[in-house]
Structures are given as C-alpha cells and as structure tokens.
Amino acid sequence: MENEELLKSVTAKAQEWLGEAYDAETRAEVKRMLDADDKTELIESFYRDLEFGTGGLRGIMGAGCNRMNIYTVGAATQGLANYLKEAFADLDEIKVVVGHDVRNNSRKFAEVVANVFSANGIKAYLFDNFRPTPELSFAIRHLGCQSGVNITASHNPKEYNGYKAYWADGAQIISPHDVNIINNVNEIKGAESIKFEGNPDLIEIIGKDIDDAFLAAVKELSLSPEAIKNNSNLKIVYTPIHGTGVELIPQSLQNYGFTNIIHVPEQDIPSGDFPTVDSPNPENPSAMAMAIAKAKEVEADLVMASDPDADRIGCVIRDNRGEYVLINGNQIAMILLYYLMTRNAELGRLTGKEYIVKTIVTTETIKSIADANNITMYDCYTGFKWIASVIRDNEATCRYLGGAEESYGFLAEEFARDKDSVSAISLMAEAAAWAKDKGMDFLQLLQDIYIKYGFSREEGISVVRQGKSGAEEIVAMMKNFRTNPPKSLGGSDVVIIKDYASLELIDVKAATVEKMDMPTTSNVLQFFTEDGTKISVRPSGTEPKIKFYIEVKGHMANGSEYDKAIADADAKIALVKKDLGI
C-alpha cells in the first residue's frame, strides 16, 4: 500500500512537469520515465523536492523536482532574489556575482541564474568562464555585492551538479538568512513562478580584472620570499584534475617565485566528464595516480592537486623509502597552520591577538600547536561558513592566521571567506621551500611536528546509502548511536560523549551532563575515550552518506619511530572500526 501511495504521488508530480511551462526536452524526458515499466528512475526523480539546504542545492542532473536542472536552479534563484529584495530594500541597486565550475551544464545553469536575477531587477556580474570557488567569494567582497551564487558540485562524481549561495561578506549563508532564503525558495511553486527572461542591461561579464586582483591579494600572503628565492627550482607537480584551477594556480605559484611547475597535460584539459579519473576527488589515491606517475618520472619534490572547483587541496610527499604517498587533510591542515604560526613567530609578528580556526572533526594536534604558541584556537562546525562566521566575529579585534577542516579545505586569508586551494597550494609550496632552507624535506617537517606536539593518526570513512531507503537507513544509524552509545572503542573506555543535536556534553564516568556553547545545533555525535581517541559521526549535508572520523593518539621520540607509530595507530583504528560496525 505504501509503495502504491508513493507511486501515485510521484506520478502526480511528474505529470505537472508535462505542462507548457516546461521545455520540450524536459517534457520528453519526464514522459519517458512515466511510460517506463520500471518506475525506479521516476520515483528517484520525483519522490521529493531537491532540498535547498543551508548551503544551497546539490544533486544528480536530470529532469524532475529531485534533480539539478534549469527549473530547480531557477526556483532556487527566484527564492533568493525575492529574499534579497526584502533584506536590502533600502539599496538603490542590489548586486550579485555568478560563477561556475567545469561541470556539464554548469555554464547553462550559471546563465539561468544571471537571467533570473536580472529579470528581478538585480545586477548580476557573470564570470566569462569557469573560475575557482574562492575567486567568487573574493569577487563578492571586491565588487561590493550583496550575494553570490556558484554552480558547482565540488569533488562529487560527474553526474552531480550543485548551487552554492553566498552572502555579502563572501561566506556561505548562515542564520538568520539561511532559514529566510529556504522559506522563500519553498514558496516557489512550479516553473510559472520563475522569471526566466533576463535583462541584458543588468548582466555584466567579468574576468581578467578580477583574476588579477585576486592573484595580487594571494601574493600578499607570502611570508618567506627569501626561502623561495633560494629554492625557486623546487620541482612541483600540479594537476587541476580537469578543473578550474588550471590557469590561476600555476600563475599563483609563478607569482610566488616558483619556476619549475610540472603539469600533467592530460588533466590540464577542463572537462565535466573527468575522463582520466573515476572520481575527481584529490582525497582519493586513484585521482592522484597520474600526478604521482609524473612525479616519479621527474623526481618531483612535491605533488599537489585541486578539485574541480579549486577549493580543496590534495598533497603527495615522498616517504623515507622515496615512495610518493598521499597525506590526509588533517596533515595538510597541520602543516599549513604550523607553518603560518611558526613563521609569524620567527618574523616577530605575534602580538597575542592572533587566532586560528578548525572544525570539530579535525585533528586535536592543531590545538597543541596553537597552545604552545599562545595562539587562540576556535572549534566550529564542519563547513567553511562556520570558519567564516568566526572570522566575522573577530575581524575588528584579532588577526586571523588560518582555518582548516579535515576534508582538504584551508583558508589563509580574510579577503575570501571560503576554502581556497589557490592560496593553500601557493603556501604549501612556500612551506616546502622554508623547510628546505632548514635542511628538511616535507616528511621530516611532518615528523618534526609529531615529535614536538604528539603523534596522531586519522581516518575518515564514508558509508554511502543511495536513494530514499538509504536516507532512512542513515537516520536509523544516527538514532541507534544515540540510544545505544558504545561503552568502549579500540580497547579504551568512552569517557565523554558530545551530542551537538542537543548540545549536551555527557561525562560518562561522573554521570553528569552540561550544555555546550555553539551557535546552533548540528546532527553530530562525538565519542572520546580514556586514551585520547576521538570518533565523530555525522550524516553528510550534501551527499547520500554518513561519515565517520577516527583519530587515535600515539608517540614518537624521533623520526626512526614514525613507521612504528603509524602501524600501531592503524591497528587501533582497525579495532575502532570493528567496534563501530563499519
């Protein structure tokens, strides 16, 4: 009966998409799904409306209310336009920036966004071609705009696209604007409510001038020009993995003074099909395989990558056997923050008013580094909108040094308010030159951090559950962890539980509960054990998966103990995974 009701509901929704307000291509695609014997695709495309969440939209491209297409993109933009006119009713002119990545349909969707904004009397600055996500954030601030939209699905598979909404400070939207925008978007009922006919007079194409201003700002972040001068021929392999970093990142490295940037020609070709990789995610070793092969060929010092919208950084270093190994997002964050804090100290720039930011699921070793340098560290929720919120709260009184999340995102600047691989890759190369001036390669630099501040090992696991049934399974898993929390993990008793949905910190041994001070609630659980292990569990806000973040502690007194510390930590992680049932 339940399945019959579901099919009846999705059929009724689909039939609405056969109306004249929808184009011929869309109507044909919907009719094909309605006529098919197997109704799975119809159900997946129409069983719900693609949710405009606090960050925007993300979904598989295709016809239907649960898919990314010109109608779901148009509805999102119409709702955002309506809210902008409410929020900035006192302005003579409301301005937005529209950008996009290399994905299939990204240019089309970006043009739809610009048209809908302009049809609503809002001036739209539209980039002439694909650009890195952080440049869109920069452009909002640089051009004095009230909002911005970037069409991107970041590092998702090629079937996906997405829609990120930004506010006047260049950050992704948080309360109260997020809820207000969502309410406005939810009021858009069907294609008839969307103003698709753009006003060309209100659309301005932008490009090189913004590139130049952005790259100049990134260059100002450099702290070690002498070290770069001494090591300008550092062999750096860089790949954009078919994405938007293809032009600006090599330019930025050159601006810093690096002269030996080695490309992976096959991956310098922008393509939404990402033809040389299964997934364009620099977290995955397979996505870095061609860059590593090139590194072996030229004996590179460092290998780096950006994801398709160039907000995330991937990094490969040589281990003590000379093999090229991918370091994780926690290690990237740790190295960059260590470099920025230490180099600022060397330059005598620390005044006691500096701070850094990390997300709650990112390694706790970063806090040890900050404490040792008398630098304040803020913990925030996952997502750079929360790091941006901390920057906004402190920009008048304190100096921001950097912010990081374990998912390969880093932001070294205040002139953009979203993670930025352009600056991160430039500064990572600079850190390598700085370390080389001190007689260290990158592995030795990483080991030095562990020796000084304590060894940690992290692993992230994503359990994917597709479709309606998958979403229900993820809800059930979170409920089970709350009602039946583990008593021990990896052979160590759980002593603290943090539930960010209720903002409760539970001290298991003392049997006490206290409230946590966070800006809002979030569907995240954390378990801390007696031996320092930290496990975080949260459903993804943008993908059909539940994520587990495991961090275990260890010890190493010198570089020769590095391999043993890794082996011991990996054994403990395996026990934790078994206890979690993943």
Neighbour-count burial of 37, counting CB atoms closer than 10 A to its CB (0-12 exposed, 13-18 middle, 19+ buried): exposed
Which residues, in sequence order, are CB contacts of 459 under 8 Å at separation 6+? Answer: 328, 550, 573, 577
CA distance between the termini of the chain:
33
User: Which domains are seen in the chain, by residue range?
Assistant: 1-47 (no CATH), 49-208 (3.40.120.10), 233-452 (3.40.120.10), 456-580 (3.30.310)
Instruction: Tell me the two tokens of residue 339.
Output: 């470099």
Neighbour-count burial of 208, counting CB atoms closer than 10 A to its CB (0-12 exposed, 13-18 middle, 19+ buried): exposed
Which residues, in sequence order, are CB contacts of 475 under 8 Å at separation 6+? Answer: 539
Residue 79 CB neighbour total at 10 angstroms: 24
Q: Per DSSP, which regions of 39-155 are E strands?
A: 56-60, 95-100, 123-127, 147-151
pLDDT of residue 62: 97
Instruction: Tell me the two tokens of residue 508.
Output: 């298991």
Q: Per DSSP, which regions of 26-145 are E strands?
A: 56-60, 95-100, 123-127
Q: For the whole prediction, is pTM greater than 0.85?
A: yes
pLDDT of residue 544: 79
DSSP 541: S
- Angstrom CA distances, 115 to 58, 107, 112, 238, 384, stand at 20, 12, 5, 36, 28
- Using an 8 Å Cβ cutoff, are 388 and 138 in contact? no
Instruction: Tell me the two tokens of residue 82.
Output: 């309506």
* String of DSSP letters for 473-515: HHHHHHHHHHHS--SEETTEEEEEEEETTTTEEEETTTTEEEE
In 3D space, the residue among 204, 187, 191, 199 whose CA is nearest the CA of residue 74 turns out to be 191
Residue 567 C-alpha from the chain's centroid: 29
pLDDT of residue 2: 59
Q: Phi, psi at residue 303, to the nearest 5°?
A: -125, 130
DSSP 537: E
pLDDT of residue 69: 98
The amino acid present at 390, given as its one-letter code, is: V
Query: What SS3 state is found at 462?
Result: strand
Task: For residue range 545-558, list pLDDT tens digits in order.
Answer: 899 999 999 999 99
Catalytic residue (choose from 137, 154, 421, 522): 154
pLDDT of residue 1: 45
Which residues, in sequence order, are CB contacts of 490 under 8 Å at separation 6+? Answer: 529, 531, 533, 552, 572, 573, 575, 576, 579
Which residues in the chain show pLDDT less than 50?
A: 1
pLDDT of residue 360: 97
Is 154 catalytic? The answer is yes
